[in-house]
Structure 1
């Protein structure tokens, strides 16, 4: 089994590759988009901005509470073979949302046809996202402060 096949197997759920496409840098999506044959498509929903409510929970176990709102860009396309691609991207980037939706539809097409034209792209994007997340983790780890308690010495006086 090739490394690209393993990478897609780990991201075989639609939720997995949609998350990956949303997190991938736009420059990487653009680079890969330039390397493939562009499918004909029609807009179902052109890229548009909106807001999503973010919820949090203390320690992930407490009651959920509204943390605030975040701007998201969403897009829906249908490629010529009938697959519908959807994307929700954090922030205001219409191009990112459009490319993510197109790649979503192309991955679905690959699964239906049993081809792997987009598999290497997904694998490359996964490596890129992992490296970026690793860099953030490393930077965060460098600024980590460990707190500890010093006990008072008890003297017999």
Structure 2
């Protein structure tokens, strides 16, 4: 399966859809989007908790301009959990905020994507759609921020020139 986005020129094929990629997409997904797109595929799975959802803080680091020296921005809340499907596959969910249902859904999707069955193809499409939603929302935020950009010009006064 391969999907090409003409809007941003990015291609994400099933070979590129590694576990790290889909866990990142699930972590950044909006809870409502993940629930709407994936719950029908994963909520019927049989599973047990390895680690029930727990909320904690993580340190967020940033770089000025994306390239400068790293600095501590602050802390953010993260909810995580781990579960095991009946066939032994383990799924992990890490999400921003305190929504334990969101973390559970992310863990179920993670586990289901590791299986080689008919739901994997459907869930790959879900991941593609979540990614497209994230790209679109990011572009909308950037466009909104760009519309408020102000250019400042400095004029040199003639009396200070030597």
The TM-score normalised by the length of structure 2 is 0.79
| Residue 146 (1) aligns with residue 151 (2) | yes
Q: What pairs with 1:64-143 in structure 2 (closer than 5 Å)?
A: 64-110=70-116, 115-143=120-148
Quick one: which of 17, 20, 24 aligns to 1:15? Answer: 20
Q: CA deviation at 1:78?
A: 1.2
Quick one: which of 30, 41, 49 aligns to 1:25? Answer: 30
More strand by share: 2
The TM-score normalised by the length of structure 1 is 0.81
| Residue 49 (1) aligns with residue 33 (2) | no
| Residue 3 (1) aligns with residue 8 (2) | no
- Gaps of at least 5 residues in structure 2 are 5-10
The CA distance in 1 between the partners of 2:16 and 2:156, in whole Å, is 49
Q: CA deviation at 1:62?
A: 4.1
More relative contact order, 1 or 2 (CA 8 Å, 6+ apart): 1
Pick which of 6-15 and 21-30 moved more. Answer: 6-15
Decide whether the 8 Å contact of 1:26 with 1:96 is kept in 2: yes
Structure-2 change in CA distance of 1:148 and 1:13 (3 Å) = farther
Q: CA deviation at 1:2?
A: 4.8
Structure-2 change in CA distance of 1:155 and 1:95 (3 Å) = closer
